[in-house]
Amino acid sequence: MPVNTDAVGRSYGPHEPYEVTRVKIREFAEAVDARSFAHIDPDGALADGYDDVVAPTTFAVVIAQQAEFHVVVDPEVGVDFSKVVHADERFTHHRPIVAGDVISTTVHIDAITQRAGISMVTTRSELADADGAPVATVLSTLAVREDA
Amino acid sequence: MSDENLPAFDGLEVGQVVATRDVKITRDTLVRYAGASGDFNPIHYNDVFAQSVGLPGVIAHGMFTMGTAASVVEEWSGPGNVVDYQARFTRPIEVPNPGAATATVTAKVGALDPELRTARIDVTVEVDGARVLGKAQAIVTCA
């Protein structure tokens, strides 16, 4: 069954907020070999002008992918996850993410285009802090094969 | 961003390489990224599963490659100073077992905006001479 193009414009969440911790930032920084002390040392991060340890550039994917999951499992959208390949990703940071942030995310289906047996599903996750101020916008496109 | 640690805008030139790194990728690397990111798609650790969906074997997470390339940019820009970052995943990186794949990351000044004092950093990631990311660009705020 192909992806349902009528799903464009749907939005999901915010669901349970994501609490950003020092431990998770350190773990992610080590996994992508981000070497700045500002990812692991709170005092060093303070000296660099941050309120706490700062997340690497693509850390927001941890939060965004949890939100995007609601799109993938929506039966009315019709994404078969075993036929999905990640096509592209874009992060726009309105401010850096730091430990202590409590992030609420709303994900929107911005576009679904179909061509040559492949559906391209573009989602936009809007991450906001506890005050409702924007933190990051994450655009992600999945390519879904329509073959049997 | 943080004014305390911004890279200097003056002196940058289009075409200048600001950072480069060879990244060694093993199965251990992928398991570590899976845990850190929460992306447990078995194509990134299970050969039997990967082959069942038409892949030659286990491949790296596209987001691992994109994230590691960002770390190379940050080594020059400082942490927290990349305000926009995008990439297309054009070619998967096969990760052998045993053994390792080696990705060469190069971060180069692609464009400069003197009014906003931002630099567009164009990132290439090559494995065995072939590019694995398309249009990988980071916008960095400078002082």
pLDDT, tens digit, for every residue of A33-85? 999 999 999 999 999 999 999 999 999 999 999 999 999 999 999 998 888 89
Asked if the C-beta of A31 comes within 8 angstroms of chain B's C-beta atoms, the answer is: yes
CB atoms within 10 A of CB A139: 17
CB atoms within 10 A of CB A91: 26
Domain of residue A131 covers 5-145
Res B5: pLDDT: 85
- CATH number of the domain that residue B59 is part of: 3.10.129.10
Count of structural domains within chain B? 1
pLDDT, tens digit, for every residue of A64-74? 999 999 999 99
Contacts of residue B82 in chain A, CB cutoff 8 Å? 57, 91, 93
pLDDT, tens digit, for every residue of B53-94? 889 999 999 999 999 999 999 999 999 999 999 999 999 999
CB-based contact B85 A27, cutoff 8 Å? no
CA-nearest residue to B32 within chain A is A31
Of A24, A11, A129, A16, which Cα lies nearest the Cα of A77? A11
Pick among A18, A33, A98, A125 to test the B interface (most B CBs inside 10 A): A33
Query: How far is residue A130 from each of residues A31, A104, A126, measured CA to CA in Å?
Result: 27, 7, 13
- CATH number of the domain that residue A137 is part of: 3.10.129.10
Q: Which residues contact B115 (CB under 8 A, 6 or more apart)?
A: none
Res A1: pLDDT: 67
Count of structural domains within chain A? 1
| Averaged pLDDT for residues A109-137 | 97
Q: Which residues contact A26 (CB under 8 A, 6 or more apart)?
A: A39, A40, A53
| Averaged pLDDT for residues B126-130 | 97
Q: With 0.80 as the threshold, say if the pTM is over it.
A: yes
ipTM: 0.96
Q: Categorize the per-residue pLDDT at A146 as very low, low, confident or very high, splitting at 50, 70 and 90.
A: confident
Hey, which residues 23-52 in chain B have their CB within 8 Å of chain A? Answer: 23, 29, 32-33, 35-39
Res A83: pLDDT: 86
φ, ψ of residue B90 to 5 degrees: the values are -100, -20
Kindly report the three-state secondary structure assignment for every residue of chain A. Answer: CCCCHHHCCCEECCCCCEECCHHHHHHHHHHCCCCCHHHCCHHHHHHCCCCCCECCCCCHHHHHHHHHHHHHCCCCCCCCHHHEEEEEEEEEECCCCECCCEEEEEEEEEEEEEECCEEEEEEEEEEECCCCCEEEEEEEEEEEECCC
